Homo-oligomer: A and B are copies of this chain.
Amino acid sequence: MKKLYIVGVGSGNYDDLTIKATKILNLSDLIYCDERTFKQLSRYLEKNKIVSNSYTATKERCVNAINSALENKVVSILGSGDTGIYGISSLILEYTEDLIDEINIEIIPGITSAISGASLLGSPLTQDFAVITLSDNLANYEELKAKINSIANANLSIVFYSPQNSTYKNLLLALEILLTYRSSETIVGLAKKIGTNNQKIIITNLGKINLEDIDSHTTIFIGNKKTKLTKNKKMVTPLL
């Protein structure tokens, strides 16, 4: 049976890989990755295995990886964070739907930035939470409006992925709605460039978010009504 592994690489920092992920990368004949992951991980991988099609769109990279697997190579395709969260797993599973007898797909889970970012901030997601993307490509404005209205009143912590676009339109919508349900004092955490040398965290309040602190590599954590800033400067949502 032909084999294709879809491997979540977390932040892209080698330390963030799982043991399983490192084993899979070792046994692969070919490793497909995007430019960012290539820059971060290439020194840990066997050079002759890497297919870094920097300028290839995500969908094309997935198709190329599938085709290599069909040519009897053991192939891994890497994705940042966990490939099941706004990632490539669904694309590959859809593209290979009719190849059930030919190709075996295995997904290796990775640390998504909701989890790595939370560990840097303290423990903002101890209790129930939602993960929402603000990406222009994925979030429909009207649907997002309805969604944020539905969940803002529930006492969930919320994580926003991909908060920045040219006008911060989706983020501003989300913050405006949240402020009608939650206090402007609600604790908010920003985790920036997780796993890189420029990693930075900022803890602030819902009413005081500075848009200049937010770029496309920022993950935003909105506390629930019980979330607090502890004396040791951690963002903590109590367990009970």
Q: Which of B91, B111, B151 has a CB less than 8 Å from the CB of A151?
A: B151
Q: Which of B97, B120, B232 has a CB less than 8 Å from the CB of A97?
A: B232
Query: A155 to chain B: which residues have CB within 8 Å?
Result: 143, 147
Q: How far is the CA of A59 from the CA of B94 in the complex (A)?
A: 45
Q: How far is the CA of A94 from the CA of B138 in the complex (A)?
A: 37
Q: Which of B23, B90, B230 has a CB less than 8 Å from the CB of A238?
A: B90
Q: Does A12 contact B (CB under 8 A)?
A: no
Q: Are B131 and A138 in contact (CB under 8 A)?
A: no
Q: Are B19 and A90 in contact (CB under 8 A)?
A: no
Name the distance in Å between A20's Cβ and chain B's nearest Cβ: 4
Q: How far is the CA of A127 from the CA of B132 in the complex (A)?
A: 8
Q: Does A15 contact B (CB under 8 A)?
A: yes
Q: How far is the CA of A137 from the CA of B89 in the complex (A)?
A: 34
Query: A127 to chain B: which residues have CB within 8 Å?
Result: 86, 133, 138
Chain B: CB-nearest residue to A144 = B128
Query: How many chain A residues touch the partner (CB < 8 A)?
Result: 72
Digit string of A6-19 for contact with B (CB within 8 Å is 1, else 0)? Answer: 00101000111111
Q: How far is the CA of A83 from the CA of B112 in the complex (A)?
A: 14
Chain B: CB-nearest residue to A112 = B115
Query: A125 to chain B: which residues have CB within 8 Å?
Result: 84-85, 131
Q: Are B98 and A231 in contact (CB under 8 A)?
A: yes
The DSSP consensus for interface residues of chain A is mixed
Q: Does A203 contact B (CB under 8 A)?
A: no
Q: Does A130 contact B (CB under 8 A)?
A: yes
Q: Are A16 and B20 in contact (CB under 8 A)?
A: yes
Query: A126 to chain B: which residues have CB within 8 Å?
Result: 84-87, 89-90
Name the distance in Å between A125's Cβ and chain B's nearest Cβ: 5
Known: A90-B122, A128-B133. 5 other contacts (CB 8 A): A16-B19, A18-B19, A90-B237, A94-B230, A127-B133
State whether A107 and B119 are in contact (beta carbons under 8 Å apart), knowing that A16-B18, A18-B15 are contacts in the complex: yes
Q: Does A109 contact B (CB under 8 A)?
A: yes
